Structure 1
Amino acid sequence: MIRSVAAVLLTCAVAACGSPADAAPSAVARRFADAVGSGDTAAACALLAPRAKDALTTHPCAVALAALRLPHAPPAMPVVWSSEAQAKSADDTVFLHEFSDGWRITGAGCHPRNEQVYDCLVGGR
């Protein structure tokens, strides 16, 4: 039995199984993609971090997001580092940060410029 449990744990570690800590940023990234995909830009704006929302200064957030035509493919389970997370989809990368009131999107519509820098349509890294 101990070997079976060890095998399951090893398989999960190798396969990068999500942990409960990954569930919250995953849910936020998925809700954001769903909101963008359905055109509910007000709901998408509610999931943005304050700085990301403030960067959309030329128009109200909902109008700016609609004009950007953000990708909205479902994100994979995020990679979480303490209070930071990154969720990739087939179309883009979303960055998140854990604030005192929960996880928020800090960058969306992001594509790698090189190994360490991403260009994002909203917010950024």
Structure 2
Amino acid sequence: MHGRRGVGSVVRPCAVAAVVLATAGACGTPSERRDGVIAQVTRFERALDAGQHERLCTALAPSTREELEQSTRRRCARAIGEQDLPAAGAVRRVDVYGGQARVVLEHDTVFLAHFPTGWKVTAAGCRPRPQRPYQCELKGG
């Protein structure tokens, strides 16, 4: 919903749900959510390729950033530059489940969550393991 609503306008159920559920869900059509997820992963990967550490930190979910800083005992911008995050390659698959998403790329898997400010990366540098959770280089607590 962009701009102001006029008198007599209808409040969309998604807007009400956003207030009630906050980060538990993401509004928009499945296509809009998917596009938002892909856009955020693309920004994250471009910042990674360009060595833009502050932009990478901005893209992280708060708990992921906190975990990175606590585990390395360094500020995010310095710590994220020391992570062994792969060059991801092309998008192969996108799965969006309400306010959670997984993007499978050629050489990486990135997990995201939806916040009031948009999609944020919760884990990156993730590799699948048979019958076990993903092993991620960067993840939240």
What is the TM-score normalised by the length of structure 2? Answer: 0.70
Contact 1:41–1:65 under 8 Å retained in 2: yes
2:81 equivalent in structure 1: 66
Q: 2:42 aligns with which of 30, 36, 39?
A: 30
Look up the equivalent residue of 1:85 and give its one-letter code.
A
The alpha carbon displacement at 1:54 in A equals 0.5
Look up the equivalent residue of 2:114 and give its one-letter code.
E
After superposition, the Cα gap between the structure-2 partners of 1:82 and 1:111, relative to the gap in structure 1 and judged at 3 Å, is: same
Q: Which ranges of 4 or more aligned residues in structure 1 deviate by more than 6 Å?
A: none
Q: Deviations over 1:84-122 (max 9, x none)?
A: 100111111000000122110000101112345111111
After superposition, the Cα gap between the structure-2 partners of 1:47 and 1:116, relative to the gap in structure 1 and judged at 3 Å, is: same
What is the TM-score normalised by the length of structure 1? Answer: 0.78
Look up the equivalent residue of 1:59 and give its one-letter code.
R
**Could you list the runs of 5+ residues in structure 2 that have no partner in the other structure?**
1-29
RMSD: 1.9
Look up the equivalent residue of 2:99 and give its one-letter code.
S
2:9 equivalent in structure 1: none
Look up the equivalent residue of 2:77 and give its one-letter code.
A
> Could you tell me how far apart the structure 2 residues matched to 1:25 and 1:113 are?
23
Aligned residues: 108
The alpha carbon displacement at 1:72 in A equals 2.9
Look up the equivalent residue of 1:44 and give its one-letter code.
L
The alpha carbon displacement at 1:124 in A equals 5.2
Contact 1:29–1:75 under 8 Å retained in 2: no
2:101 equivalent in structure 1: 85
**Could you list the runs of 5+ residues in structure 1 that have no partner in the other structure?**
1-17
The alpha carbon displacement at 1:83 in A equals 0.6
Identity %: 33
The alpha carbon displacement at 1:59 in A equals 1.1
